[in-house]
Amino acid sequence: MTPELIADYKCVIGEGPLWHPGEKCVYWTDIPMGRMFRYNPATGAHEQFYDGEVVGGFTIQEDGSLLLFMAKGAIAIWRDGRLEYVYEEIPHERETRFNDVIADPAGRVFCGTMSTADRPARLYRLDVDTQLTEILDDVDISNGMGFTPDRMQMYYTDSPTREIYLFDYNQDTGGITNKRVFVRTPEGGGVPDGMTVDAEGYVWSARWDGSCLVRYSPDGRVDRRIEFPAKKVSSVIFGGEDYTDMYVTTAGGDNKVDEGYGAGALFRINLGIRGVPEFLSRIFLK
């Protein structure tokens, strides 16, 4: 099936699509340009609703607000057109920004950063009481994450290594242990970026500079590959009434000649494969 182009805002780095179950809309961001968008499939309308500080990733909160992970380690709640900061900055993240993030079953958020010229990236966990804990260091680029259907394991992508890892995950504590390689992607086919897990426990990994989505079986075998008219396929999420619509973001909209006519656009594809709702974050200021 050919992916359907839904909206083209020529995003430099279109990223982080998320289905908002309360609004029945899909949200996404253009990271370096500080823009955010939403699309309502019921009406076909889409819009830019945010123009401000860089947003590297975000979650949907239990009350329907957005939790934004930004530059310099800033974390803020976006509600009714206003920002309320959880953290205005993290001192040792002043030279970088957050990248991919994910809420866990308990409402915590795992949030990763980008590396700099003199310091590797990190993965943090933001607990519901707003305590921030460093979970991993010495990461090249912290990227796509997801949970197995039994909530016993967590996937984690480090893009430049071309590896997706699997950890044992403890829902009670938010701890991750026993790191091992789930898949290592081949050279020359792009690098793994954002990801999600479907209802069958298969992993969907976007391939930056690989022009495709790849579906992996729970034992790490390539199950199928979906091609897109954009080199930089950045992330994917399930949505729609029955969670069979897949929304896919791409990057490179500032250079379509080299990156493809679909670069920087939001796509939709429906293969009849069902996803599951993403977990909602529960980070609230007292």
Rounded CA gap, 73 and 60, in Å?
A: 18
Tell me whether residue 193 is one of the annotated catalytic residues: yes
Catalytic residue, chosen from 100, 104, 158, 193, is 193
What is the pairing mode between strands 98-103 and 109-113?
antiparallel
Rounded CA gap, 44 and 48, in Å?
A: 14
Residues labelled as active-site residues:
193
